[in-house]
Chains A and B, each alone.
Chain A
Amino acid sequence: MLRRTRKPDHLQGTLDLLVLKTLSRGPHHGYGIATHIERVTGDVLRVEEGSLYPALHRMEHLGWIAAAWSLTANNRRARLYRITRAGEKRLAEDEAKWTRLTEAVGKLLRFA
């Protein structure tokens, strides 16, 4: 019986932010989200694929994103995620928080 801690840590929060931001540009499937994050960050941020899917399902239950099965260009079934109204609200909050955090860290680094 495995027991997982459910405390929201920084990493998890970051993953949520990355996913929501990605989806705010349009629907994506899981793989698409992962590659988009890697491509945009120039491979600096690599998504832990093992935690991506549990995170997607969790955010789905929280109502931030919605999912539906659809066909891709080469006629395969893929699960497409899109952001919801609640997700957008959440994204705005997280983005603001993140910006404040990085600015604060930046100030400290510049001061030293």
Chain B
Amino acid sequence: MGWFERLRGTIIGGRDELFDEEMRFHLDQRTEEYMRRGLSEADARREALRRFGSPTLVREQTRDEDSFRVVADAARDLRYGVRLLAKNPGFSAIAVVTLAVGIGANTAIFSLFNSVLRNRLPVRDPERLVLFTASTGEGTSVGTPPVGHWERFSTEIYRHLQSQTPSFESLAAVRSGPSTVSVRLAGEQSPAERAVAHPVSGNYFGTMGVGAAIGRTLAPDDDQPAATPVAVVSDGYWRQKLHADPQAIGRVAILNGSAFTIVGVAPPEFFGERVRRAPDFWVPMNFQPIIELRPSFVTENDAYWLNLVGRLRPGASRAEAERSATVALQRFLRDAAGADVAPDRAKEIQQSRIELFDGSGGVSGLRTQYREPLHILLAVVALVLMIACANVGNLLLTRASARQREISVRLALGAGRGRLIRQLLTESLLLAALGGAAGVLAARWVVAALLALVSRTAPVQASVSGPVLMFTLGVTVIAGLLFGLAPALYAGRLELVGGLKSRIGIGGRRRRGFGAAETLVVAQIATSLVLLVGASLLARSLINLQRQSYGFEPDRALLARYNPRLAGYKADTVPSLHRRLYERLAALPDVRSATLTTYTPFSGTKSSNSGHVRGYTPKPDENVEFEMVFVGPDFPETLGIALRAGRAIGPRDGAGAPRVAMVNETFVGRYLAHEQAIGHRFGFGEDKPELDVEIVGVLADAQFHDPKEPIGPMTFLPLLQEATQFALQAEAIVRTKGEPAASANELRRAINEVDGNLPVNDPRVLRDQVADSFGSSRLAARFVGFFGGIALLLASVGLYGVVSQSVARRTTEIGVRLALGARPASVLWMVFRDTIALVALGVVVGVPVSFASAQLLTSQLFGLGAVDVPSLGLSAALLVTVAAIAAIVPARRASQVDPMWALRAE
């Protein structure tokens, strides 16, 4: 008999027939022998059986020899467990659902965690990819070369690094941020649509290690000045716009009026090196002028417009590549500067360096933004699971005490305690497995819902994948052991004799003391308090963020972004468009005032430039740099920013007028501390007095960016005067008289009345834009609140169960009390008091734990500290209220006990 048959026999059984045949043969032989010696057949058989002994016993002993004991025991326990669960469907359902909630929450959050923070790009050997910036590195700078850590490069320097850094197998360049283009498919009548195109170097796909799903990817030859324009489309674009047609290869797409031949479709799982922003088209970077509708950066040697992605040679280390790239960069800069380089510049070159970052996960703004919230959520769901485990543990404990007699009988019959505990744990693990399976099923759609909340357009694929399943398996086993522990220990401690006595008498074991069940409930309450406090802290912080005054009035401001570049405007024609738009919008009936700006607060855009302020001497190592916003007339009034001194930029600050500016108070405080700001002059870039601008107004500080960061110096320049590339993308703001959302269509229509070809984004209220920028804070607050609610629900179910049990146990006692004249109200109070005592103990235990764990949230909090009394008070009040509701039902049941019935049942 091989071990396999033995194992099969162990688990499935069914080997007894064979042994029975062997045994029968033996008995028959023996019977025949006795008959040969002269006994009658009946006597012979009886004598044979007597000699053989009990066939059952022999069969069992033989079977024991034939099976693996541990496996046999486990299989038997499992069968027994299944039978037991099937016998109590109500109990099983509650336990499985509770566990499914706990395990499902963990699976969902972990799969999110896994896909946002741990996933690798779907490319060949992702660990060999390196990035030159840790952030998305977007933006463009023209003019002075970067200093310090280089994130953006010119074409010339990219080519130099490509040839001079042998640590890289290949080095690709990508435009620092994709662009919106207008697309028309040749041969289709439909109007032009907007799409996202990303210029990349010809070796981009080769460097990333990605092949085409259909057709081919871009090749270095496609990126030559004389090459025919070609493009690779994303899988999403191919499915949505090209109807997943394999014949789409070779079709022509008109991007911004130029024909590009589609040569391939990228694989469905590939979204580029930027995890969040999937372009629709990848085009060779030589075609950047067409894509961005601006003069070429390709040949512009002082345009720093490219991010780099490198693939290390096998065996090359990141540090080594970093060193050689930095050396190559510095050598290039020194050669460019020539022999008679100024000492300052020489020092700058010396400090220029390249840093390389792990590229295996791609570039992800999502990752930096959600790293902390996701870690917090992981901790939160772990707590939820603990509460769920406590609940199931309590259920099992209740059942174990109901099974006291069964367990005592088995002990009396000689079952080992270890064996008994093993059996109870098997049952727990069985429950956990069922709960885990249900949890994985539930997690599938929870994940989808959560992802939708994280980012509506996120091309992040969070699926219940291999690592997630491993995680869930681990969680399930741990959960099973956790909640199985209490009843198992209980069984291990059980006394034999007491358990066999059937009923618990009046004066007998009332067990009103503090048992395992009570401990679990107190732990649950304390854990719930921790979660509720966390949730209230995050919610209050979010409210603070949203209610905070940022120095502007977000409520009645309606914004609409428009794009003159896509409508064919050039730097010299755009000022007149802005003027016409301003005049049209200011005349709208529902509008109090209107203005234009290159960007609005909390839009995620920031444009800074280095400059100089007359009369201000920078400290050594100080980089004089300020933000630069171009605005139309009535800007302070429309945004609700207070004008502290001077005048606002008005309609007269147009073409030909003197160059003027408004600055914020931080600017004045930092650079003009003791002087009259109005009339002072400053400038950008090169130090040429004729290019300086004069300060005509001072605005109150207004926060345009992350509220957790201090406000920097800002300058506001006249948009109507700006005949440069800067003015080719702008936003209209109107302050409405009534509900701003109601004016959305009017605003859009008005803009298109001025120019019907001008692409306009859907107008949105500034208040919503501010709120949206708190996405990750809202996510954290919402999720922690959600899981806090679940925790509260689970804890109150647990409390309800424990109180119900204790009432059921005390039915006789309560009956006697009532018979002796106790009023129902006092019985109600008695039960209620015990419950509240438990809750109060839980709260007392929970308070210090809450304070300690809230410290972990500090970086997520705004406008309040980790020790926040209102949050604590609110949470405790909520907890006590819900607990009271959970206790009231069994307490009322106790007060309505019929004394006669209770006594007769004895």
Write the residues of chain A forming the contact surface with B, with a CB cutoff of 8 angstroms: 1-4, 29-31, 34-35, 48-51, 53-54, 57-58, 60-61, 67, 76-79
Contact = CB atoms under 8 A, between A and B. Distances in A.
A54 B419 contact: no
Given A3-B414, A30-B22, A77-B25, A49 B53 contact: yes
Interface residues of B, number: 30
Contact of A54 (B28, B51, B52, B62): B62
Contact of B26 (A3, A49, A58, A60): A49
B52 A49 contact: yes
Given A1-B410, A1-B416, A49-B51, A54 B25 contact: no
B190 interface: no
Contacts of A76: 25, 28
Nearest to A60: B1
B414 A77 contact: no
Contact of B61 (A4, A31, A77): A4
B415 interface: yes
B22 A54 contact: no
B419 A31 contact: no
* Leading 8 A-B pairs by shortest Cβ distance: A50-B53, A57-B65, A54-B61, A31-B29, A1-B415, A58-B65, A31-B26, A79-B22
B57 interface: yes
A61 to B, nearest CB: 7
B30 interface: yes
Interface string B611-639: 00000000000000000000000000000
Nearest to A66: B1
Nearest to B419: A1
Contacts of A79: 21-22, 25
A50 B54 contact: yes
B58 A31 contact: no
Chain B interface mostly: helix
A15 to B, nearest CB: 13
Contact of A53 (B1, B6, B23, B413): B23
Contacts of B33: 35
14 contacts: A1-B415, A2-B414, A3-B414, A4-B64, A29-B22, A30-B22, A30-B26, A35-B33, A51-B61, A53-B58, A54-B62, A61-B1, A67-B1, A79-B25
Given A53-B22, A53-B23, 7 more contacts: A35-B33, A49-B52, A49-B58, A53-B26, A53-B62, A57-B65, A79-B22
B62 A57 contact: yes
Contacts of B57: 50
A2 B73 CA distance: 12
B21 A77 contact: yes
A61 B62 contact: no
B64 A31 contact: no
B134 to A, nearest CB: 62
Contacts of B30: 31
Contacts of A3: 414, 416
Contacts of A35: 33
B66 interface: yes
Interface string B1-40: 1000010000000000001011101101110010000000
A29 B414 contact: no
Contacts of B6: 61
A58 B58 CA distance: 13
A105 B60 CA distance: 37
Nearest to B57: A50
A86 to B, nearest CB: 15
A61 B22 contact: no
B31 to A, nearest CB: 11
A112 to B, nearest CB: 37
Contacts of A48: 53
A54 B65 contact: yes
Nearest to A58: B65
A51 B54 CA distance: 11
Chain A CB within 10 Å, residue with most, of B22, B66, B415, B419: B22
A49 B62 CA distance: 12
B58 A54 contact: yes
Contacts of A78: 22, 25
Contacts of B60: 2
Nearest to B60: A2
A57 B25 contact: no
A60 B410 CA distance: 32
Contacts of A51: 61
Contacts of A58: 65
A60 B22 CA distance: 15
Nearest to A53: B62
A48 B57 CA distance: 13
Contacts of A53: 19, 22-23, 26, 58, 61-62
Contacts of A54: 58, 61-62, 64-65
B649 to A, nearest CB: 92
A30 to B, nearest CB: 5
B730 to A, nearest CB: 84
Nearest to A47: B51
A54 B64 CA distance: 8
Contacts of B413: 1
Nearest to B423: A1
B58 A57 contact: no
Nearest to B6: A61
Contacts of A57: 62, 65-66
A64 B425 CA distance: 37
Contacts of A49: 26, 51-53, 58
A47 B443 CA distance: 63
A62 B463 CA distance: 49
Contact of B58 (A2, A4, A50, A77): A50
B66 A61 contact: yes
Contacts of B1: 60-61, 67
A108 to B, nearest CB: 34
B52 A50 contact: yes
A76 B26 CA distance: 11
A16 B71 CA distance: 26
Interface in B328-357: none
Contacts of A77: 21, 25
Contact of A29 (B25, B53, B61, B410): B25
